[in-house]
A and B are shown apart, each in its own frame.
With several copies, the nearest count.
Chain A
Amino acid sequence: MSSLDGLYQELILDHSKARDGFGLAAEEGACATSHQRNPICGDEITLRVRLDGETIRDVTWEGAGCSISQASASMLTGLIDGVDRSTATAVIGRFREALRSRGTIELDEDEFGDAAALNGVSKFTARVKCAMLAWVALEDALARA
């Protein structure tokens, strides 16, 4: 199960249980919310950020899904808090690129923090959508805000 261990790194299993940011905050002040769904497995997420000018604050989310999608949302929460919008958008773009690269682009730990543990996902093309779910929600929320 070595390729499997590459996918389900310890950090992922931990995040999938800890779920940082889980529990949607009330809509107060300048907020942006997005609901995303993976039609294949029925997984869904609702993600909300508060905006302090151009700065993202208080990422919270709610939803059900596989360990990859839950861990990814949890990791995103920590990564993006306090970051400004344009940086966040760029980070999401690079995350997507790496995940779609079939293992040819590595997620840099300096840039992606815990989320770098999602590296292994890019070799499992069917799971890329799971890992992307929260990130697509954030992208969509920012685009609407």
Chain B
Amino acid sequence: MSPLGFDAARARADFPLLSQRVNGHPLVYLDSGATSQKPQQVLDAELDFLTRTNAAVHRGAHTLAAEATELFEDARHTVAAFVGADEETLVWTHGATEGLNLVAYAIGNATAGRGAPASAALALRSGDEIVTTETEHHANLLPWQELAARTGAVLRHVPVHDDGTLDLPAAATLIGERTRVVAFSHVSNVLGIVNPVSELVALAHAVGALAVLDACQSAPHVPLDLPALGVDLAVFSGHKMLGPYGIGGLYGRREVLEAMPPFLTGGSMITTVELDRAEYLPPPMRFEAGTQPVSQAVGLAAAVRYLEALGMPAVHAHERELERRMREGLRAIEGVRLLGDADADRVALVAFDVDGVHAHDVGQVLDAQGIAVRVGHHCAQPLHRRFGLTASVRASASVFTTPDDVDVFVEAVAGVRAFFGVRS
């Protein structure tokens, strides 16, 4: 048990999947950065909804529909509160990727003249700049590339230091008069370092640009107060924070959401529809076209309540302990190089390279010992290229990861080069 009274072994017991053996070994699941496992409480909440209350929300007058609507809106309230936001500023999405695309397309639609008069403020002119960073997940690169290609905007990228921290002086130079959007991750899914959000937001706001935060890898691991961080928009994914697949959130400052034209269009986001034109509801419903992932929203609310019961400060402290243990363990192994080894504020996620052994082979040897890690470029090819690699091995922890899990993992990595007969 950690000093904060955090008992990962007890949390572990809540996750039915973790009790299995893999290849004859107890499962050590270190792939939470890709997708987390789900506690019984989340599975129960969704099942309970589906077997007792399931009905189309916001639509029927019948009893089930009314109950389902209440649970759905309670879920919005719960999840919004988890990130410090009001429920009217939380839009349901199907995940972070959709959330970032929503923002990019809404800006594109504003550029195409769609939306209310206020939308014009979001329109891009040719030569306007969109700034992201070298460390981004493809989900926070490609939507901007496509938006730039459609509008004539130009992409700029904040470089990253060897130690994995962002080059802030360079950011200060890059972010200028023409900058309209600054999009960056709270925590990179390869480096695990908590980026200086306030500094980047200040740079963005100083030039009147929107600050867009990818909070995918921070939401499950550090206490979040999005309004306090000052970002204009932020996204996260349910399946990475102990919740179901197919649900996520987009937080937006009221004025910003208000100015955004719709992205997906369809049922439940309109006031009046004629054959040739339509009027749209205010946010958040303006952005929630069609049948929403209702049972998943209820499941995500349960996930968030689970995390809150553990306490996010305790979760973060637990993870800091794990990440130190991981990094110290790995650093001691000859031939292992960590990607971004800065002693910054971090989550328990590390990516590394084993000299002379391909990431795929490392992963295979670990898997044979029941240890699940991720290998590849983790949807961050430019970042890997920056570090001279095409692939790396990534271990990422969660609330159910114990120090023992970390030790088993480190020991297994220590045996990899010998297995492949690589001489030191």
Contacts and interface: CB of A to CB of B under 8 A. Distances in A.
Centre residue among B66, B358, B365, B420 by max chain A CB count within 10 A? B358
Contacts of A4: 364-365, 368, 419
Contact of B358 (A1, A39, A44, A65): A65
B421 interface: yes
Nearest to B285: A39
A67 B59 CA distance: 18
Contacts of A84: none
B390 A64 contact: yes
B364 A127 contact: yes
Interface in A1-23: 1, 3-4, 7-8, 13
Given A3-B23, A13-B420, A126-B69, A40 B364 contact: no
B159 to A, nearest CB: 21
A39 B365 CA distance: 21
Interface in B361-384: 361, 364-365, 368-369, 375-377, 381, 384
Contacts of A130: 360
Interface residues of B, number: 33
Chain A interface size range: 20 to 34
Contacts of A125: 66, 69-70
Given A13-B420, A41-B390, A127 B23 contact: no
Interface in A83-136: 124-127, 130
A134 B357 CA distance: 19
Interface of B: 23, 58-62, 65-66, 69-70, 270-272, 281, 357-361, 364-365, 368-369, 375-377, 381, 384, 390-391, 419-421
28 contacts: A1-B369, A4-B368, A8-B364, A8-B419, A13-B420, A13-B421, A37-B271, A37-B272, A39-B271, A39-B272, A40-B59, A41-B359, A41-B360, A41-B376, A41-B377, A42-B377, A42-B381, A42-B384, A43-B390, A66-B359, A66-B361, A67-B358, A68-B361, A124-B61, A124-B364, A126-B61, A126-B62, A130-B360
